[in-house]
Amino acid sequence: MDAPLPGYACPVTRFDTVRVAAIQATPVILDAERSVEKAAQLLGEAAAQGAQLAVLPETFIPLYPSNAWARQAAGFSGFDELWERLWENSVDVPGPLVDRLVDACAAHQLHCAIGVNERESERPGSLYNTLLLLGPGGLLWKHRKLMPTHHERLFHGFGRGDDLQVTDTRVGRIGGLICWENRMPLARYALYRGGPQIWVAPTADDTDVWIANMRHIAVESGAFVVGAPQYIPRSAFPADFPVELPDRPVFGRGGAVIVEPTWGEVIAGPLYDQEGIVIADCDLRLGLHAKRWYDSVGHYSREEVLSVIASAAPTSGSAAPADFTGDSNGSEKPAARAAPGGA
């Protein structure tokens, strides 16, 4: 985080131009060590092109459970081997795999957002679809997906929502959500209140609607939006993948994209049907300009009116309203590193 200006208790938000990369890549499926090695290499490639922030896909380590084959896990049998291998190749946070990614950020002097399957080695069991924000100094933010989508609930637990924060970093105020969480209005609003300048959106969605979502969020948030999906050809699956795959050549065609916040124009991508990196220079002043016209949590929010509606007693079977009284701001304070050789 930037140091406060003399006479001010808090740092003043800066409006630099930041080079951002959306990395569309294929993990080394069910191999966490090699997936981390590949991620570190890709961070180096992005840094060589001048990137200061790089975003990698949802659950890049070590696999996204695609609906094309993962829905079969609704049965009680047949998925034990996959579950065991997925757990063995998931990520402790903090942990040694995270430390290696932090080392790559330090070596290349950039920040990184990456999706992982997160486990808890001290209590082996559930996995979580988790988004990490890393910097040269360490782990800055961890967010567990609030609502695993449909078939994902066969693999991932539910996030608690106590991590809906924006983190102030040297490259700007960064927030974001995972895949279809980006369709959740109240989750978006909670983060908007933290004033993100760059919105990271790791995903497995390769549809045209996803690009429309990214353009909408850019305008609604007043932030640059970085969408980073996986590209998953059938050839990426190992010969010993323990689940039968349907007969199709591609399980995720990508769609990496970067969108600006004034009119929601696509300024890089979308990239389809290959691995690659899309890059854009993001002038953060544009977010400030956009909020002169439309600030969804400021002069255009009318929260004092709409909160009455949101606070009304829920109808039968509906969820209780979200509480927006908490602080949505995080700061660049790294979490502790794992002990050498520890999980």
Residue 164, Cβ neighbours under 10 Å: how many?
25
Per the CB < 8 A criterion, the answer to whether 110 and 43 are in contact is yes
Task: Give dist(CA 100, CA 70) in Å, integer.
Answer: 29
Q: Which of 112, 179, 181, 260 is catalytic?
A: 179
Q: What angle separates helix 185-192 from helix 208-221, to the nearest 10 degrees?
A: 40
Task: Give dist(CA 116, CA 210) in Å, integer.
Answer: 20
Per the CB < 8 A criterion, the answer to whether 330 and 164 are in contact is no
Residue 250, Cβ neighbours under 10 Å: how many?
16
Strand partners, 138: 135
Give the pair of three-digit tokens for residue 238: 């190992």
Angstrom CA distances, 129 to 91, 265, 268, 343, stand at: 10, 29, 26, 18
Angstrom CA distances, 90 to 93, 127, 143, 256, stand at: 10, 8, 15, 24
Cα-Cα-Cα-Cα torsion 310, 311, 313, 318, nearest 10 degrees, comes to 40
Task: Give dist(CA 130, CA 243) in Å, integer.
Answer: 23
Task: Give dist(CA 190, CA 174) in Å, integer.
Answer: 13
Question: Which runs of E-coded beta strand occur in 62-171?
Answer: 91-92, 111-119, 128-135, 138-144, 166-169
Q: Which of 58, 118, 181, 332 is catalytic?
A: 58
Residue 136, Cβ neighbours under 10 Å: how many?
17
Q: Which of 145, 181, 220, 332 is catalytic?
A: 145
| Residue 179 appears among annotated catalytic residues | yes
Q: Which candidate, 179, 158, 159, places its Cα nearest to that of 55?
A: 179
| Residue 10 appears among annotated catalytic residues | no
| Residue 145 appears among annotated catalytic residues | yes
Which residues are known catalytic residues? 58, 145, 179
